[in-house]
Chain A
């Protein structure tokens, strides 16, 4: 990710403007970048010859990874930084993403509903119970220790941060174990909870409004929290 080698354009303190000798000359990464681009394009063409969907998945996956890396969009940091640094900039970015997804997914689901098709993604309307809370808490501890959630860990492995390859390996092992035991948990704990689909409760329009209002409330709370933290 390092095309520019020099110091960034941030404010300089007089004491640290000394010339620092570079340890070794940096490699030019542009040829490798072009090579990777060609490989991506070739794999994309090969995939599109096979099936329609895999090409779409390939391209969205690459685009998603690129945006994650460039934007430093980190779900872990969004939950952790308010406590650690008082900064809620990533938290607010995640909230904005939630707001956009709310509108986008409602449009997709409502479109299917209007034309009498089965609503896509209804399998993900999962029952909520104490199991959700406990699971979320455990996942939160894990992702802060591992230094990234699923997407962040994958992205950093791609960056060449090998330490997180360990996190990724155990993420895969844990997921396999979880999938293996899922039937048990589902039967005895998860299925006991209520299954709530907001449009059933508030109507389609109401559901969007309610969800956006909740997000707006959280956004305002994040701004207020950051001000309170940094003014100390």
Chain B
């Protein structure tokens, strides 16, 4: 199992989502992707997309206004 962290701190709304989508595509099933974000809109649309796509998703607020979206690739 691999764990990949992508740093999207300071990136505005669609950028973290696009980065997460591209990264997840090149990862293997069972790998975990951690997206670090500080944009409240991305905090909603990254997990929403990943869940709709059928992956296991968890959101953790690591600091005030700073989140980690943890995505486990399931397929």
Contacts and interface: CB of A to CB of B under 8 A. Distances in A.
B18 interface: yes
8 contacts: A4-B61, A8-B59, A13-B56, A16-B58, A74-B41, A84-B18, A84-B45, A147-B13
Given A72-B40, A84-B14, A85-B48, A16 B32 contact: yes
Interface of B: 1, 10, 12-15, 17-18, 30, 32, 38-41, 44-45, 47-49, 51-52, 56-65, 68, 70, 72
Contacts of B62: 20, 22-23
B64 A15 contact: no
A214 interface: no
Nearest to B68: A20
B41 A160 contact: no
Interface string A148-169: 1000100010011101100100
Contact of B45 (A10, A24, A87, A160): A87
Contacts, number: 106
Given A2-B65, A15-B1, A85 B45 contact: yes
Contact of B59 (A10, A84, A86): A10
A114 interface: no
A15 B1 CA distance: 9
B40 A87 contact: no
